[in-house]
Every structure is written in C-alpha cells, then in structure tokens.
Amino acid sequence: MTTNIINRSTAPETGALHFEGFPAYKQELINNHFPCYSVENFSSNVVRLDISIPSGSWMQSKPLQSSSMARMITEGTKQFNSFQIAEAIDFSGAYLDVSSSPHRTILSIYAVKDILVSLLPLVKSILTEPTFPADELKTILANNKQEFIISNKKVMGRARRFFPSLLYGNRHPYGTVIEEKHFDALSTEDMQSLFNALPLSESSIFLGGNIDENVMEHLQNLFSDAAFAKSNSNTEQNYNSEPSSEKEHLITVPDAVQSALILGTPVVGRSHPDFPVLMLTNTILGGFFGSRLMKTIREEKGYTYGISSGITARAQASHFSIQTEVMAEVTQQALDEIFREISRLSVAPVEMNELDIARNYLFGSFLRNMDGPFALVERLQTALQENLDPNVYYSSYWDAIAAATPADIQHMAQKYLIPENMHVLIVGNKQ
C-alpha cells in the first residue's frame, strides 16, 4: 500500500561505496616448496583449482608454440589417451582448461567439491607425462587454422590480431601477428621441447570455493612427483618494442559495410603509481556505457553499435587502446570524433559530476570483480603474477581512485593519451 506521494524526479538516498581491503585468504607451502593460495567459501557446492606455471609465448621459439602446447597437453599422456581424458572430465561433470598467455601457462579445473580429488591423478599425468601424439596434433592444428581463417575474415578479428604489431613490432612476443603458415610449421618435437623447458618447480597453486579438507593431502602427493622438481632450463630472453614508424595503417576490405578501428599507445602498467588514475581516465574516455566515446560515437552520432577503450596491462609492457566497428561511410568522421574526444581530455579538466559518475562506476565494477571465491582467485593471480601484494595493491588502487581530482585526470591525459602518439589501424573501407 502506498500512502505517500513519492517524488520520482529525485534519486533515493544512497550509501557511499567502500572497500574493506582484500578479503582473507590462506597462504601455505605444499611440500615446503609450492606456494598455495586459497579462498574458502562454503556457500556453494563447487570448487576451482588453478596450477599456474611461469611460462608462455615469451619463452617460445616459434609463433603458436606455447598456446599449442597448452592445448595439446590434454590430448594424450603415457597413461591416458585423448578420449579417456575428455571422458573422465565430462563424466565427472567437471571443466578442464589449459590456457596460455605471454608469461603463464595455467591449468584450471572447476568441479563439484567431492569430485576434485578424484581428478588429481589425471592432472598429474597431464602435467608430468604428456605424449603430444602426432595425429592429434595434426587434427587440432588443422582445425585451429580453419578457425583462424574464418575469424580473420571478420574486420575486428583481423584488426585485433594485427594491431599489437604496430606498437611492439612483429618480433616481440606481444606483437607477433599470426599467419596461416604458422599452423603448418609446428611439430610434436616443438611441443615436447617447450614442455621440457616448463619450469614446473615454480608452479603456484590457487584454490577457491568449497575446498575439501582432504585436498591438501592429495596436492602434496601430486607435487611430490619428481617431474615437479624440474626448473627452468631456458634463459629468459629480452625483447624490445619496435613500434611502427607509420602512424596510420589501412587494410582495405573492399566489400566491408563496417570498418574496424583500433587506436592505441603504450602506457604504464599495474606496478606504476599512475596506473589507478590512468584507469579512471580510461573509464571516462571509453571504459563504460556512459563514457565520452560511447556518448559521442554511439549515442550522439549513431555511427556504431559500440565503442570502448581499455588498458592491456602486462608484466613487460602495457598499452591503452580504443576499438570500434563503424559504418564504413563514416570511417573518417568517426576517427576525427575519436581524436577530438582524446584531445578534449587534455585541454580541459572534467566536471566533478562526470568524474564522480566514472569513479563510482569503476568502484562498482571493482567490487563486482571481487565478488565470490572464483573471482578472488583471479584477482590474487593478477597481483601475484606481477609480484604485487594483493593486500597492498588493491587497497592503494582504490584509495588512489578515491582521491583523484579533475586536475589529476587532465594530467594523466596530457602525459599518456597524446593524440600524435596514437597508432591507428583501419580494417575495412576508408573512402
């Protein structure tokens, strides 16, 4: 029953957003050696295990070698063939994934709580004795190649693969552009040699969710295998960025009805004190639905279904980028508008109200990203991979954003988002 006439034009009272610090997690050593981090949460019935190994495309000698090795590691071991592995996982109602990034190879398992320990013998076999069968490798590379060819027919697919080379150069692991021929150049030996160089002794373990009390015992058994004593036999290589000298690169796709645009420039990463306020600056420019780019390019002009900006933060180098797919006829107008928005941030300070909207959006998104044990496990990994203490890093990130002023935003834009420094890639049509 409503007795009072309510005032619909005025927003209800709201509470300020707070971050109480990174939630409690356990840190212990398995077999007095392997760091294990766990976030317990018994509100659900499921659990996640990640085994993270510090190796990735940074250590590879050929394009696709690391991601293919990660993919192939579950395709046959001395004890189990490819089908047996897949069937055991499916029968358990679990999910298994091995991912590869420039600096990490991570095996992740999601399972209903009681199931996890029963899958650990399989995990052990996968990580210690994969065989990389040649016939499986051939099929998987052929399929991946087709998937690549299809994805490269999409303007944005092609743009995303090509753009990093403009900032880092094709020889840098962050900038290598994948080509069809790379799928044909990989052999079982390439898989085996990169696997042999995996520094398994430097693995870290992450657990989240409804963690069985017996799981530690089983993990001790798993990591007691001699294979986990294996340390890095590769010496880590150094790569320098070799940015392209041309600022605008066009790949013409004659019949495209939309052009994919990516603009970007190198910026600082998580360990730099500017990073939090730079993230806030990015949010104002293109980091959410209410951002300047979204308002101008989509909501004012109707040039696109969506436009966004973001920061790709990695251990060795980071970059800012803007991406969108726009009506082909207005490719140049869209670019002009994007540049106008980039410049506007440097020229005049943002209004306090606009700053507060972006700040609170970013806070909300931060809190969402900390919601639940699986998310927390990811946040732990993000910080620890860059040798940041999660308890310090996330609190100081929040505090820096809370303290940011319009002058700080303008300063970040002037320092990092310099229009003349932007590399521009157009895939599509530019009349």
Long-range contacts of 42-46 (CB under 8 A, 24+ apart): 42/210, 44/209, 44/210, 45/112, 45/113, 45/210, 46/110, 46/111, 46/112, 46/113, 46/209, 46/210
Mask 371-410, x = binds other proteins (CB under 8 A)?
Answer: xx-x------------------------------------
With contact defined as beta carbons under 8 Å apart, do 366 and 19 qualify?
A: yes
Q: What DSSP string describes 323-385?
A: EEEEEGGGHHHHHHHHHHHHHHHHHSPPPHHHHHHHHHHHHHHHHHTTSSHHHHHHHHHHHHH
Cα 177 to the center of its chain, rounded Å: 18
Contact criterion met (CB below 8 Å) for 322 and 264:
yes
Residue 317 is a binding residue for other proteins (CB under 8 A): no
Of 354 and 386, which CB lies nearer to other proteins in the complex structure? 354
Site for other proteins (CB under 8 A): which residue of 28, 33, 93, 189?
93
Give the interface segment with other proteins, choosing from 53-61, 301-309, 391-399, 403-411 (CB under 8 A).
301-309
The answer to whether 363 contacts other proteins (rule: CB under 8 A) is yes
Closest CA to 265 of 334, 307, 311: 311
Binding residue for other proteins, selected from 27, 31, 45, 271, defined by CB under 8 A: 45
- What span, in angstroms and rounded, lies between the C-alpha atoms of 343 and 124? 54
Near other proteins by CB under 8 A: residue from 27, 29, 61, 90: 90
- Smaller CB distance to other proteins: residue 66 or 258? 258
The residue (of 45 and 271) whose beta carbon lies closer to other proteins is 45
Tell which positions 239-298 bind other proteins, by CB under 8 A.
Answer: 255-258, 288-290, 298
Token pair recorded at residue 138:
């051939």
Minimum gap (Å) between residue 183 Cβ and other proteins: 12
Q: Which of 217, 368, 387, 407 binds other proteins (CB under 8 A)?
A: 368
Site for other proteins in 106-165 (CB under 8 A): 110-112, 136, 139, 142-143, 146-147, 149-150, 153-155
Please pick, from the candidates 365, 387, 414, 421, the single residue that binds other proteins as defined by CB under 8 A: 365
Can you tell me which of 86, 216, 250, 388 binds other proteins, judged by CB under 8 A? 86
* Beta-strand pair 204-209/34-40: parallel
Which structure tokens are listed for 134?
Answer: 């040649």
Among 13, 78, 213, 245, interactor with other proteins by CB under 8 A: 13
Q: What distance in Å separates the CA atoms of residue 249 and residue 424, rounded to the nearest whole number?
A: 6
Q: Which of residues 163-222 bind other proteins (CB under 8 A)?
A: none
Q: Does 326 bind other proteins (CB under 8 A)?
A: yes
Report the C-alpha gap between 427 and 430 in whole angstroms.
9
Q: How far is the CB of 77 from other proteins (least distance, A)?
A: 15
Residue 44 Cα to chain centre, angstroms: 26
Q: Pick the closer one to other proteins by CB: 14 or 235.
A: 14
